């Protein structure tokens, strides 16, 4: 065959090949769909792999096929590609959660489920899945947040250990949920608040156990404080933890098995003697309300200075003898709100007063006072699924001084506390921010002033300032109005059930206004440092190192709570 003829035939053959139409895309899609519907996962993967850029639907079917074959990394990549094309399609978020769940990446699974439920809050499968994930993460409130949307979990039983000494009826009244009903998130929150208020369960938890019929049993487990403590060793640590600073804490719990607790403090420090005792119990055996009676006697020497270290002359001094007794009732309205009312009768006397530039005659008025107290605390933001909480509080004290002439004063305080646990599954990290402020109005006695600094008789800790020097109070800012912000980042360093250690950096800032120049400089104070929290057999011990950025001084402090 001539060469020209052979070339023509080859060209015709080539043109014939090029003229054959490619298989229609819809035909290929239908073959993939057919394989997918028949659960031929390997065929789906084989058909999809050579395709050019795929549609979101093909990516979904490809990802699901890979997931059924256990190829989790490739399945995640395919589903992510489809999710980028169709971010409003909830299927991608829910199935990405499934892939993460199979790999036991529970926080990632929870994040994808939150995204999917944002697109469709009523998806039954996703809500049930989210509840399960959060329950496996140990976050029961978040699990209930999603389960409640679909009428779960239905309780068939509530089991309480029989070896607990507290009266069973009293304990059962603390639970606002009951069997033969759905366990609501709000009921769990209220029950938690009332269990904590009993004061006899430093550690407790509620487990949900699935039953064959699809319902659940709620099991309560708690470490019960009884008499001086849960165990002799725990009691010894609790009572004698303050010996390094001449203090003991004799406490007696669960008197007459009624959650009546006697807590006390005895300090024999020559410069600041103190005896305090408090008796509290449920009101009429109802854990929703709790009464308290207390008495407090102090004998303190004060030396008011500008600093706890270095050269700091005494700007005023006195000896304060202060006795007070009071009573209050607290109502746990719900898991997100509580209020308290009470009254206190007190007497104070001042001796060896050197006014200097810090004190005035109005501050050291002796005599009796009657004070009415009110407080309220709420949780306006409660997001257990993100482990983020904001708690607000206010406190008002209205007092009358029986002096000549009589005087009235008002003490107001407010607070905002923010808590966040970035790693929800382990609570390894904790971020805490607390903002507090307060002020005094009228003619008030010296002992009502606000003291900012680390000191065992105040909780207004400015951790670069120490409130005592040579054992005497008065070496940190004092005043009749203040603003204090405490910022902490904690990491759980160690824990074995007996000892738990958290540590991390801190940053505080505060300012105190005072009626005299000797009490406070009225400057903004900035402190940084490190704090460690040690919990030994249920007894918290706090160690702090603070650095005052203004003066450059360092403050070391430790106390048991």
Q: Report whether pLDDT(79) > 50.
A: yes
For 318, 319, 321, 471, the CA distances from 351, given in Å and listed in that order, are 6, 5, 8, 18
176-219 pLDDT, tens digit per residue, is 988 889 999 999 999 999 999 999 998 899 999 888 888 899 99
Mean pLDDT, rounded, for 372-385: 95
Domain span(s) for CATH 2.40.160.50 in the chain: 268-560
State whether the Cα torsion 78-83-89-95 is positive or negative: positive
Mean pLDDT, rounded, for 322-338: 95
Q: Report whether pLDDT(23) > 90.
A: no
Number of H helices, E strands in the chain: 12, 24
Rounded CA separation 538/554 (Å): 29
218-234 pLDDT, tens digit per residue, is 999 988 988 888 888 88
pLDDT for 76 equals: 93
Which residues fall within 8 angstroms of residue 24, CB to CB, at 6 or more apart? none
251 against 19, higher pLDDT: 251
305 against 8, higher pLDDT: 305
Q: Report whether pLDDT(379) > 50.
A: yes
Domain span(s) for CATH 3.10.20.310 in the chain: 154-223
Which residues fall within 8 angstroms of residue 328, CB to CB, at 6 or more apart? 291, 292, 340, 341, 342, 343, 373
pLDDT for 337 equals: 95
| Mean model confidence pLDDT for the chain | 90
Tell which CATH architecture fits domain 154-223: Roll (3.10)
Rounded CA separation 116/125 (Å): 11
Q: Report whether pLDDT(7) > 70.
A: no
Mean pLDDT, rounded, for 389-418: 95
For residue 6, count CB atoms less than 10 angstroms from its CB and return exposed for 0-12, middle for 13-18, buried for 19 or more.
Answer: exposed
Mean pLDDT, rounded, for 334-343: 95
Q: Report whether pLDDT(12) > 70.
A: no
Percent of the chain with pLDDT over 90: 70
Strands 272-283 and 286-304: antiparallel
**Which pTM was predicted?**
0.86
pLDDT for 44 equals: 83
For 172, 176, 181, 209, the CA distances from 155, given in Å and listed in that order, are 15, 13, 6, 10
For 185, 300, 502, 536, the CA distances from 236, given in Å and listed in that order, are 38, 28, 23, 11
Domain span(s) for CATH 1.25.40.10 in the chain: 26-150
Asked if 192 and 177 touch (Cβ cutoff 8 Å), the reply is no
Q: Report whether pLDDT(45) > 90.
A: no
Q: Report whether pLDDT(271) > 50.
A: yes
424 against 247, higher pLDDT: 247
Please report which confidence band the pLDDT of residue 14 belongs to, taking 50, 70 and 90 as the band edges: very low
- Tokens for 448, please give them: 């009502």
525 against 39, higher pLDDT: 525
Which candidate, 204, 234, 222, 233, places its Cα nearest to that of 165? Answer: 222
Asked if 292 and 327 touch (Cβ cutoff 8 Å), the reply is yes
Q: Does domain 26-150 have CATH number 1.25.40.10?
A: yes
Percent of the chain with pLDDT over 70: 95
Rg of the chain on CA atoms, in Å? 33
Q: Report whether pLDDT(341) > 70.
A: yes
Rounded CA separation 327/209 (Å): 42
Spell out the CATH class of 268-560: mainly beta
Rounded CA separation 25/8 (Å): 33
């Amino acid at each position: 065959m001539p060469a020209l003829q052979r070339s023509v035939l080859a060209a015709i053959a080539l043109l014939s090949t090029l003229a054959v139409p490619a298989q229609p895309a819809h035909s290929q899609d239908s073959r993939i769909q057919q394989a997918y519907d028949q659960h031929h996962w390997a065929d789906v993967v084989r058909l999809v792999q050579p395709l050019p850029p795929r549609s979101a639907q093909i990516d979904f079917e490809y990802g699901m096929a890979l997931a059924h074959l256990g190829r989790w990394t490739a399945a995640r990549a395919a589903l992510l590609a489809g999710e980028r094309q169709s971010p409003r399609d909830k299927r991608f978020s829910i199935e990405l959660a499934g892939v993460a769940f199979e790999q036991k990446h529970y926080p990632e699974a929870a994040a994808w489920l939150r995204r999917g439920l944002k697109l469709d809050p009523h998806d039954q499968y996703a809500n049930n899945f989210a509840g399960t994930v959060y329950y496996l993460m140990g976050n029961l409130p978040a699990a209930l947040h999603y389960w409640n949307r679909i009428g779960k979990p239905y309780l068939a039983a509530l089991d309480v250990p029989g070896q607990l000494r507290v009266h069973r009826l009293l304990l059962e009244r603390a639970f606002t949920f009951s069997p033969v009903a759905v366990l609501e998130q709000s009921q769990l929150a209220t029950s938690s608040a009332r269990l904590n208020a009993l004061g006899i369960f430093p550690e407790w938890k509620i487990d949900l156990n699935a039953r064959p019929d699809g319902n659940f049993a709620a099991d309560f487990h708690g470490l019960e404080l009884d008499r001086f403590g849960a165990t002799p060793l725990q009691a010894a640590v609790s009572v004698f933890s303050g010996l390094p600073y001449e203090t003991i804490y004799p406490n007696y719990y669960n008197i007459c098995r009624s959650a009546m607790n006697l807590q006390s403090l005895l300090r024999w420090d020559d410069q600041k003697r103190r005896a305090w005792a408090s008796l509290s119990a449920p009101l009429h055996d109802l854990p929703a309300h709790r009464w308290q009676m207390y008495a407090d006697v102090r004998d303190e020497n004060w030396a008011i200075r500008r600093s706890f270290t270095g050269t700091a002359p005494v700007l005023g001094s006195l000896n304060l003898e202060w006795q007070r007794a009071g009573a209050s009732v607290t109502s746990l309205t719900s898991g997100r709100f509580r209020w308290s009312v009470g009254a206190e009768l007190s007497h104070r006397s001042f001796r060896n007063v050197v006014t200097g530039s810090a004190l005035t005659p109005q501050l050291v008025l002796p005599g009796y006072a009657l004070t009415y107290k009110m407080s309220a605390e709420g949780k306006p933001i409660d997001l257990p699924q993100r482990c983020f909480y904001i708690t607000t509080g206010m406190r008002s004290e209205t007092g009358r001084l029986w002096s000549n002439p009589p005087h009235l004063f008002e003490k107001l305080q407010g607070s905002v506390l923010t808590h966040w646990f970035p790693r929800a599954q382990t609570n390894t990290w904790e971020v805490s921010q607390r903002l507090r402020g307060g002020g005094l109005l009228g003619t008030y006695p010296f002992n009502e002033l606000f003291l900012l600094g680390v000191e065992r008789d105040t909780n207004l800790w400015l951790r670069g300032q120490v409130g005592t020097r040579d054992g005497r109070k008065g070496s940190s800012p004092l005043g009749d109005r203040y603003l204090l912000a405490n910022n902490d980042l904690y990491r759980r360093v160690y824990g074995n059930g007996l000892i738990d250690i958290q540590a991390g950096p801190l940053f505080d800032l505060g300012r105190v206004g005072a009626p005299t120049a000797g009490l406070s400089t009225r400057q903004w104070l900035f402190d940084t440092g490190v704090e460690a929290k040690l919990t030994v057999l249920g007894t918290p011990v706090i160690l702090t190192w603070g650095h005052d950025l203004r003066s450059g001084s360092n403050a070391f402090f430790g106390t048991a709570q």
